[in-house]
Amino acid sequence: MDIRTFDTVYTVIHKTRSESGLYHYLCENQTDGAQYLLFGRKREFIDKRSIAFLNEQINNKEFIDFKDVFVYEDQLIVAMRYHVAPTLQERLKEESEFEERLAIGRGILEAFLLQKMPPHFQVQCLTMERVLITDTMEVQFAYSLEDMELACVRRQEDVWEAFASLLEKMWKSELSRNNIPALKRYIEYLRTKESKTQESVYRNYLLMMETMKAMPRTERNLPNQRLLRIWKCIHRQIPRIKKIAAFLILLAALLLLIYSIWKQNQPAGTTEPLIRYIGTLELKE
C-alpha cells in the first residue's frame, strides 16, 4: 500500500489504530529512504485551530522531524520522522553513570533549541517513554499526535514543568538522599514564575552540570541527610556516653566487691554429706 502526495510516495510497512481513533502508518519514504510515522485522523474530528497549528509547522524549517501535512482520502495526515532507539526508561533500568544522565538532560535541551519545536511537542516528548537515546548518546524523540486540542493552549511554562518532572525521575535516588543541591536548585529555578527563554534555561543547565561534575565521587553517594544528621548528633554525644558508661562499669564493679565481702562474712551453712559409694563400689578416703 502506498500513500502518495504531490512529490512523495510513502510505502506503508505497518498500520494500526489507537483507541482515540488516530491511525498510525509506519512508512518508508521512497524519496529519501527514511522511515516516517504518518498520523491520520478524519478531518471532521480536528478543530480549525489544530489544523492551523499543524500548517504553521510546515513553515518551521528548523523542525526537521516534522515532514508534512496533507489530505489523504478523508483523513488529515501528518508525517513525522520515525526514530528507533532505546527509551530513556529502558536506559535508566541499567546502572546509568552520573555524567551520562547529565549529558542526556543537555541533549534534550539542545534538541529543543536546534529543532525549535513548539511547546506542545516539547511537552509530549518530555516523558521517559518518548525520549530516545542512541548508542552514541544522541537524543531523539518518539512523536505523538494525541491531545492535539491542547496544542494552542500549551505554553513554555508547561515545558519547564515537564522538564523538571523528568529530571526528578532521572535523579530520583540522588534527590531522595538530598546530596545534589545544585540540581535541586535548578529544578526550583525551572518552576519559578519568572520569564525564561530556552537559551537561559540551557545556559543555567550547563552551569549546574559543571557544578555537579565537579563533585567528588564520595559526595555523590552520601547517605540520606536526615540519617547523616542523626549520626552527627550521636557522634557529638559519644564523649558523654563514654563517661556515663565508665561510671556504670565502676559502679557495677563496686557493687560486686561489696557483694563478695558480704558473702564471705555470712555463717557457713551445713555441709552436704560426702558421697561414699558409686553403685556398689565403696570410695576410700
Per-residue model confidence as pLDDT tens digits over 273-283: 555 555 555 55
Return the HEC string of 55-98.
Answer: HHHHCCCCCCCEEEEEEECCEEEEEEECCCCCEHHHHHHCCCCH
Average pLDDT on 223-233 reads 53
% of the chain at pLDDT higher than 90: 52
For the ranges 50-59, 103-112, 199-208, the lowest mean pLDDT is seen at: 50-59
The amino acid sitting at 245 is: A
> What is the C-alpha to C-alpha distance for residues 174 and 90, in angstroms, rounded to an integer?
19
Give the pLDDT confidence score for residue 181 in this predicted structure: 92
**What is the grid cell recorded at 57?**
509547522
pLDDT of residue 224: 47
* Residues above pLDDT 70, as percent of the chain: 86
Give me the residues paired with residue 70 across strands.
77
Per-residue model confidence as pLDDT tens digits over 26-84 = 999 998 889 999 999 888 778 889 999 999 999 999 999 999 999 988 889 999 999 99
Contact 129, 142 (CB under 8 A): yes
Residue 145 has pLDDT above 60, yes or no: yes
